[in-house]
Structures are given as C-alpha cells and as structure tokens.
Amino acid sequence: MCYESLKLIRNILTNSQDYHDHFMKVVLHVVIHKLKLIWNQVVGLRMAHFKN
C-alpha cells in the first residue's frame, strides 16, 4: 500500500513540474515549522535551566 502510494506520487511529480514545485514548497514549509518547534523547545529548556 505504502509503496504503491509512493510510486503514484513519484509519477505525479515526474509528470508535472508545477505540482512538484508546489509539493516542495509544502515540504519545506512543514520542515521549517518542525525545526522552529524543536528550536523553541530547546531554547525553552535552556532558559528554564538557567533560571534554576
């Protein structure tokens, strides 16, 4: 099931450059959002550590 989905996605990506660009933007947005969350947690932990 998962492999079929990946194959389908790959076919769509190779067929349509516009779709590929949009897909990459979405992936980038999600990755940046996740990194920000992780960064906030790390900074928050450090701040809490220094306060104590």
Q: How many domains does the chain have?
A: 1
One pLDDT digit (tens) per residue for the chain, 52 residues: 578 888 887 877 677 677 777 788 889 999 999 999 999 999 988 888 777 6
The whole-number pLDDT of residue 10 equals 80
pTM value surpassing 0.85: no
Cα 38 from Cα 42, distance rounded (Å): 6
DSSP calls for the chain: -HHHHHHHHHHHHHH-HHHHHHHHHHHHHHHHHHHHHHHHHHHHHHHHHHH-
State the angle between helix axes of 2-15 and 17-51 in degrees (0 to 180), rounded to the nearest 10. 120
Domain containing 15: what range? 2-51
Query: Cα-atom radius of gyration of the chain, to the nearest Å?
Result: 18
Q: Which residue has the tokens 């550590």?
A: 49
The whole-number pLDDT of residue 14 equals 72
The whole-number pLDDT of residue 37 equals 95
The whole-number pLDDT of residue 32 equals 93
